[in-house]
Amino acid sequence: ESVVNRIAAGEVIQRPVSAVKEVIENSLDASSTSINVIIKDGGLKLIQVSDDGHGIRYEDLSILCERHTTSKLSVYEDLQSIKSMGFRGEALASMTYVAHVTVTTITAGQLHGYRVSYRDGVMENEPKACAAVKGTQIQIENLFYNMMARRKTLHNSSDDYAKIVDLICRFAVHHINVSFSCRKHGAARADVHTVSTSSRIDAIKSIYGASVSRDLMEVTASENDSSSLIFNMHGYISNSNYIAKKMTMVLFINDRLVECSALKRAIEVVYTATLPKAAKPFVYMSIILPPEHVDVNVHPTKREVSLLNQEKIVETIQTTVDSKLRCSNS
């Protein structure tokens, strides 16, 4: 059974960055305002995420890393799951099959916190009382220690670290009220460090630099169908002054960081047609639509979504971006 669990867990957690994403989403779910990440050896030795969220109750610690669902999602659950960030209640559980997971947490009003380690879905010992500041710290050590083949494919730790930094930058662009940091273990300086702000443009500037943020254009689009919402989009896109080697598309749908390749391609096409010299844009978009219109691929690591009315939505956004670019160009 443990081999089956390990293989399944290896599917959920494909690389260090997948573990970081799950853990940060949990921190955001817990209403954190500060999320600090420390990475050792590209995440293989250590991923440590500390937040100041509401913490985990003592009673929940014993079941924290049990799988909440079977592999067969009911349609109902699938639709519901999109509403919160939690995907299927198995991220933490999965990690315990392929790494050593230690949780330190304190809930409001408690004098001390608890620390407990997990292995293969269960607690290794009773939670131990310990000193703790507000929130939760998750430590994931020796990721893929029991999957030698996987470890071999992840020999480039700077590559994995770069992916983690990139991920945190994306979260920071959307969650501007949360301060994020990420550093290598033992490093004095953080490689990402954001402070809470009320200005999206300031956030983008501090994360991606002035060259991106200087000429950002605001874009909005929305559509309703006889009083019911089809979609609502708000975002910022770069103009002709911005030249980059590759496109950056930061996309949140219903506050979840996702990928939508159809939308990305549609926007890239507009840039290539309108601004040949600056064909690789920076794009941030936040789209809100009825939760039941979003279909997350059943595979938990695929953040690719498909949307009800997708063609229409993509086309409307494409037209919006196109006219914005033409305006700025003339």
Which residues have CB under 8 Å from 206's CB, separation 6+?
194, 195, 197
Please compute, for residue 103, the number of CA atoms within 13 A of its CA located in the half-sphere on the CB side.
32
Binds 42: which of ligand ADP, Mg ion, none (CB < 5-8 Å by kind): none
Which residues have CB under 8 Å from 229's CB, separation 6+?
222, 223, 288, 289, 290
CB of 32 to ligand ADP, least distance (A): 7
Between strands 294-296 and 256-257, the pairing is unpaired
Q: Which of 17, 61, 91, 325 binds Mg ion (CB under 5 A)?
A: 91
The owner of tokens 């971006």 is 321
Which residues have CB under 8 Å from 265's CB, separation 6+?
none
255 secondary structure, DSSP code: T
Nearest to residue 192, comparing CAs of 163, 158, 166, 159? 166
Binds 291: which of ligand ADP, Mg ion, none (CB < 5-8 Å by kind): none
Report CA dihedral (47, 53, 58, 60) to the nearest 10 degrees.
-80
Binds 127: which of ligand ADP, Mg ion, none (CB < 5-8 Å by kind): none
The helix/strand/coil state of 259 is strand
Closest CB to ligand ADP among 200 and 303?
303
Closest CB to Mg ion among 95 and 221?
95
- Interaction residues for Mg ion, span 19-48 (CB under 5 A): 26
CB of 92 to Mg ion, least distance (A): 7
Closest CB to ligand ADP among 167 and 278?
167
Closest CB to ligand ADP among 178 and 249?
178
Binds 51: which of ligand ADP, Mg ion, none (CB < 5-8 Å by kind): ligand ADP
161 secondary structure, DSSP code: H
CB of 89 to Mg ion, least distance (A): 7
CB of 64 to ligand ADP, least distance (A): 5
CB of 274 to ligand ADP, least distance (A): 41
Which residue is closest to ligand ADP by CB? 86
Which residues have CB under 8 Å from 241's CB, separation 6+?
214, 215, 278
Binding site for ligand ADP (CB under 6 A): 22, 26-27, 30, 51, 53-56, 64, 86-93, 136
- Rule CB under 5 A: is residue 147 a binding residue for Mg ion? no
Binds 30: which of Mg ion, ligand ADP, none (CB < 5-8 Å by kind): ligand ADP
Binds 89: which of Mg ion, ligand ADP, none (CB < 5-8 Å by kind): ligand ADP
What is d(CA 80, CA 77) in angstroms, rounded to the nearest whole number? Answer: 5
Give the total residue count for the chain.
330
Binds 257: which of ligand ADP, Mg ion, none (CB < 5-8 Å by kind): none
CB of 87 to Mg ion, least distance (A): 6
CB of 191 to ligand ADP, least distance (A): 22
Q: How far is CA 220 from CA 32, 217, 236, 291, 307, in A?
A: 28, 10, 9, 20, 18
The helix/strand/coil state of 8 is helix
CB of 36 to ligand ADP, least distance (A): 12
Closest CB to ligand ADP among 39 and 278?
39
Contact residues for Mg ion, defined by CB under 5 A: 26, 86, 91
